Structure 1
């Protein structure tokens, strides 16, 4: 992910950091495998099946998974049920054939 953010495009760059660089308070995007929010983020992006008990402390949480991978999809459905049962407002978006996003 770190490499992708550096090479998003020839003129694009998403400022970000991690514990390696430090200065979390100066980083608009903080990359971590820990359940922490040292930069006071309002949005939480979870990948690779990651979970967090701190969802309520964020304005929005995005659970990103590969919908073409049957195991990832099954796991995501399990997380969806847990989050919904916990009272979180849920919406589902999927990527269409042209690369855009539409509500599922």
Structure 2
């Protein structure tokens, strides 16, 4: 698994190469949870997915993503929130997962 570096801010856009693909992650804290948009090679493949602890985000191979992403709470079992991103809520990428 690969850790994706993110910051503890309410909105951020992260560009990262994953499995030889250009991936952009738009992460946004809303009042009812943390949400993510995913761009693969400049094309949005997922919009507005709710991020939950230890739950795969992409889930389906037909999106074309070469793997999947998940948040893991390093200090318990809570769903991610922006205040703990990068230190409590770690974003992982697993190549080949759900493809």
Which TM-score applies when normalising by structure 2? 0.28
> Larger Cα Rg: Structure 1 or Structure 2?
1
Which TM-score applies when normalising by structure 1? 0.27
